[in-house]
Copies of this chain bind each other. A is one copy, B any other.
Amino acid sequence: MDLEYFFNRATVREYSSQDIDNDTLNEMIEAACHAPTTGGMQLYSVVVTRDKAMQEKLAPCHFNQPMVTTAPVVLTFCADFNRFVAWCKASYAKPGYDNFQSLISAILDVTIFAQQFNTIAEMNELGCCYLGTTTYNAQEIAQVLNLPSRVIPIVTLTVGYPKHKEQFHTDRLPVEGIIHQEQYHEMNAKEVKNLYSHKESLDVNKAFTKENSKVTLAQVFTDVRYPKESNELFSKKFLDFLKIYI
């Protein structure tokens, strides 16, 4: 087995000034379309943002993460029932997709598509970074990108040629904590602490905990990065945007 790329890949947040040729980008997107998709429906679209003025408009939707304006290409991957419903209506077929399961199908479709693109891009010398902020400000992104009804921004990738040659290490939990044989085996507190002990022992994570004036690494997640109040605020906003589905 050749798993070298898969074990050594890492997110790239800093890009060189080299642009991405349009034919190259389109061919990668076309290849990604051959990823699995629910019933062959391809319930997704992607909006390409190269224009610097458009990137400036998108930036605040992503809390001004610098990659949005420093990457040559920003790709907003959208769950899309708009095109499929238009096809149904043009084909004497009555669509029934304004519901939660259909939304889920489209979210899975677009995420598989985005991840396939990410793999293709990374295997072909490009570097990418996912922006998890996309669903936080879906309404604002929809306005900037002129998204019609039934088109929902789900994930964003910033894409470019890496500025640096060196790779960052991607630290992951021991795989035994991820795989369950036949049935799920819930861990007790001691087993969970053991599972996370290597991650907690890394210098980068110790420094990260200290920088944020926290005692444990987990507190950085609960108090700083993904606190309850923000999660609830952005949940309310996104549910409001999704009201025809839920």
Contacts and interface: CB of A to CB of B under 8 A. Distances in A.
A29 interface: yes
A120 interface: yes
Contacts of A216: 91-93
Nearest to A25: B179
A88 B132 CA distance: 21
Contact of A119 (B51, B119, B179): B119
Contacts of A89: 189
A64 interface: no
Given A180-B48, A231-B102, A93 B218 contact: yes
Interface string A5-41: 0111101000000000000101111111111101111
A195 to B, nearest CB: 8
A155 B107 CA distance: 12
Interface centre among A2, A94, A136 (most CB of B within 10 A): A94
A171 interface: yes
A131 to B, nearest CB: 10
Given A146-B184, A182-B48, A216-B91, A39 B115 contact: no
A165 to B, nearest CB: 19
Interface string A180-215: 111110110100110110000000000000000001
A163 interface: no
- Complex copy number for this chain: 2
A2 B124 contact: yes
Given A192-B87, A229-B96, A180 B218 contact: no
A184 B147 contact: yes
Contacts of A88: 218, 221-222
Nearest to A120: B6
Contacts of A225: 39
B226 A102 contact: yes
B86 A189 contact: yes
A60 interface: no
Interface string A43-54: 011111111001
Contacts of A139: none
Which 10 residue pairs spanning A and B have beta carbons closest together?
A96-B228, A91-B218, A93-B218, A100-B235, A6-B31, A146-B183, A91-B216, A30-B175, A111-B111, A93-B222
